[in-house]
Amino acid sequence: MANREIIDRYTYKKMKRAELTKFILRYGDQLLGEQGKTIDLPALESELSKIKGIGGKRLEEIMVVIEKFLDVE
């Protein structure tokens, strides 16, 4: 990958942590989209449900957090 400036120092210095996190996640998602890769939320939920100790209620809470970070509505 070419070394290119994605965001300048002034911009990221004045951003709050949540704003910067959203920016990074959107940029990463865009890169994955360019590569033809996406996150399949139902498949992710299915795999997480197989983890011992994660019940239905906890799984719902985890998915809410994941969807929040991915800006899924």
| pLDDT digits 0-9 by tens, 6-63 | 777 888 788 888 888 888 888 887 877 777 667 788 988 999 999 888 899 999 999 9
Report phi then psi at 34, rounded to 5.
Answer: -65, -30
Residue 24 belongs to a domain? no
Residue 64 belongs to a domain? yes
Residue 65 belongs to a domain? yes
User: What's the total number of domains in the chain?
Assistant: 1
The range of the structural domain enclosing residue 58 comes to 39-73
Residue 45 belongs to a domain? yes
* pTM beyond 0.85, yes or no: no
Residue 14 belongs to a domain? no
C-alpha to C-alpha distance for 10 and 29, rounded to whole angstroms? 23
Report DSSP letters for the chain, one per residue.
Answer: -----SS-HHHHHHS-HHHHHHHHHHHHHHHHHHTT----HHHHHHHHHTSTT--HHHHHHHHHHHHHHTT--
